[in-house]
């Protein structure tokens, strides 16, 4: 053996495929998708796409940056934070610890919007608690004639949303407003000169986790609690949003409201009390995830 063999990192000697296998194994206790995580982090460390990684496995060497990424994942940091990005509705969204990471389960909202909008596409969309802007911008990508407004109580989140609108080419059709719905009269912005026509599509994925619920370390330690927790029964934000919908919604408009898997009954009851017709839809995992609200008697 020459001197060089002694200083070559073990990963390099044994090859990248081996490193992926070992790393995936070491992620098993922190992740439900250990192999995918290892591949995504490796591709990121190499500055290439995952498909390029998989096509060129035998030719590639493990880059120095990989060890640090892998250590962060082992400390439960979400892959999306390490990459700074997460795909939603096939669009790449910048994410940071200031916003909720877009979930595949939320895609049912866009799928439903597309079905509802097929006959009568929305012109004016609002996303309540927009975070990264994922729901609003995915919506705008499907409705090229539509304008969108995203509101959020976090300026840091709005900066991420703004940046996503720029990167994805929607800045001319989207506006972002700092609005806190826990403040009285928060819907007053509808009356201001910068206000808006009533919205024919309202999207919202508000916080809906009960304060007592135990979340995985990945979520609890790395995602913004202000976007997750909503009081003892997880209903605090629905209790504010649902009564305020009347100020925002156009006559024949639709509201798409994400809910926790066990909240369909309670949130439907609240919406019906406020005069809405309610339908419930399930996510990819078969859990109740979305309520479709329209004014009872509208249409
Ligand atoms: N679906 C998220 C979770 O389970 C919660 C999102 C929310 O509160 N809006 O972590």
127 part of a folded domain: yes
Between the CA of 101 and the centroid of ligand 1 the distance, in Å, is 9
Let me know whether 127 and 248 are in one domain: yes
CATH of the domain at 42: 1.10.8
65 and 156 fall within a common domain:
no
CA dist., res. 151 & res. 162, Å (int)? 11
Residue at which a domain ends, from 24, 41, 75: 75
pLDDT confidence bin for 195, thresholds 50/70/90 = low
**pLDDT confidence tier of residue 194, bands split at 50, 70 and 90:** low
Task: Please state the atom number of ligand 1 nearest to the C-alpha of residue 106.
Answer: 1
Residue 81 lies in a domain: no
Say whether both 104 and 153 belong to one domain: yes
Please give the tally of structural domains in the chain.
2
Instruction: Kindly state whether residues 119 and 43 are assigned to the same domain.
Output: no
Cβ neighbours of residue 174 under 8 Å, at least 6 residues apart?
Answer: 133, 136, 137, 140, 147, 148, 149, 150, 165
Residue 36: is its pLDDT beyond 60?
yes
Tell how far the Cα of 207 is from the centroid of ligand 1, in angstroms: 7
Residue 124 has pLDDT above 60, yes or no: yes
In a domain, 240, yes or no: yes
Average pLDDT score over the chain: 94
| Same-domain pairing of 12 and 144 | no
- Say yes or no: CB of residue 135 within 6 Å of ligand 1: no
By residue range, what is the domain housing residue 49?
Answer: 2-75
The CATH number assigned to the domain holding 168 equals 3.40.50.150
Considering the domain architecture, whether residues 64 and 120 belong to the same structural domain is answered as no
* Whether 136 and 186 share a structural domain: yes
Asked if residue 87 belongs to a domain, the reply is no
- pLDDT band for position 192 (cuts 50, 70, 90): confident
- Identify the DSSP state of 234: S
Q: State whether 143 and 284 are in the same domain.
A: yes
Q: Is the CB of 219 under 6 A from ligand 1?
A: yes
Q: What is the mean pLDDT of residues 62-89?
A: 97
Determine the distance separating the centroid of ligand 1 and the alpha carbon of 80, expressed in angstroms: 15
Residue nearest to atom 6 of ligand 1 (CA): 228
71 and 139 fall within a common domain:
no
Q: Which atom of ligand 1 is nearest to the CA of 100?
A: 6
Atom of ligand 1 nearest to the CA of 258: 9
85 within a domain of the structure (yes/no): no
Q: Is 268 in the pocket of ligand 1 (CB under 6 A)?
A: no
User: pLDDT band at residue 14, thresholds of 50, 70 and 90?
Assistant: low
d(CA 127, CA 181): 13
pTM of the entire structure?
0.92
Residue 148 lies in a domain: yes
Rounded-to-integer distance, Cα 252 and Cα 293, Å: 11
Query: Does residue 99 lie within any of the structural domains?
Result: yes
Q: Ligand 1, residues 152, 223, 231, 258: which to mutate, most atoms within 8 A of Cβ? A: 258
Could you tell me if the CB of 154 is within 6 A of ligand 1? Answer: no
The alpha helices in 48-96, defined as continuous H runs, are 50-55, 65-74, 79-83
Question: Do 66 and 184 belong to one domain?
Answer: no
- State whether the Cα torsion 29-31-33-36 is positive or negative: negative
Atom 2 (ligand 1) nearest CA: 228
Q: Is residue 84 part of a domain?
A: no
Is the CB–ligand 1 distance for residue 261 below 6 Å? no
Domain match, 46 and 152 both: no
Residues 271 and 156 in one domain: yes
Q: How far apart are the first and last CA of the chain?
A: 80
């Amino acid at each position: 053996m020459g001197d060089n063999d002694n200083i070559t990192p073990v990963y390099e000697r044994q090859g990248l495929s081996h490193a992926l296998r070992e790393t995936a194994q070491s992620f098993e206790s922190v992740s439900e998708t250990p192999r995918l995580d290892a591949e995504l982090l490796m591709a990121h460390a190499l500055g290439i796409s995952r498909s390029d990684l998989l096509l060129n496995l035998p030719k590639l060497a493990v880059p120095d940056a990989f060890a640090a990424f892998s250590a962060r994942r082992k400390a439960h940091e979400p892959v999306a934070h390490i990459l700074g990005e997460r795909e939603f509705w096939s669009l790449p969204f910048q994410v940071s610890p200031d916003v909720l990471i877009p979930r595949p389960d939320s895609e049912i909202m866009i799928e439903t919007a597309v079905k509802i909008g097929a006959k009568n596409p929305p012109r004016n969309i609002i996303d309540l608690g927009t975070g990264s802007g994922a729901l609003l911008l995915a919506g705008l990508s499907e409705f090229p004639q539509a304008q969108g407004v995203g509101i959020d109580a976090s300026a840091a989140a709005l900066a991420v949303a703004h940046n996503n609108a720029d990167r994805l080419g929607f800045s001319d059709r989207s506006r972002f407003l700092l609005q806190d719905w826990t403040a009285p009269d928060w819907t007053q912005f509808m009356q201001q000169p910068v206000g808006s026509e009533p919205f024919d599509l309202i999207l919202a994925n508000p916080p809906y986790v009960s304060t007592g619920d135990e979340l995985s370390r990945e979520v609890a330690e790395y995602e913004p609690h202000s976007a997750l927790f909503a009081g003892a029964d997880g209903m605090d934000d629905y209790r504010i949003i649902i009564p305020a919908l009347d100020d925002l919604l156009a006559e024949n408009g639709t509201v798409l409201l994400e809910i926790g898997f066990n909240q369909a009954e309670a949130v439907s009851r609240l919406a019906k009390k406020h005069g809405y017709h309610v339908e419930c839809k399930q996510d990819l995992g078969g859990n109740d995830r979305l309520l479709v609200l329209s004014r009872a008697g509208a249409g």
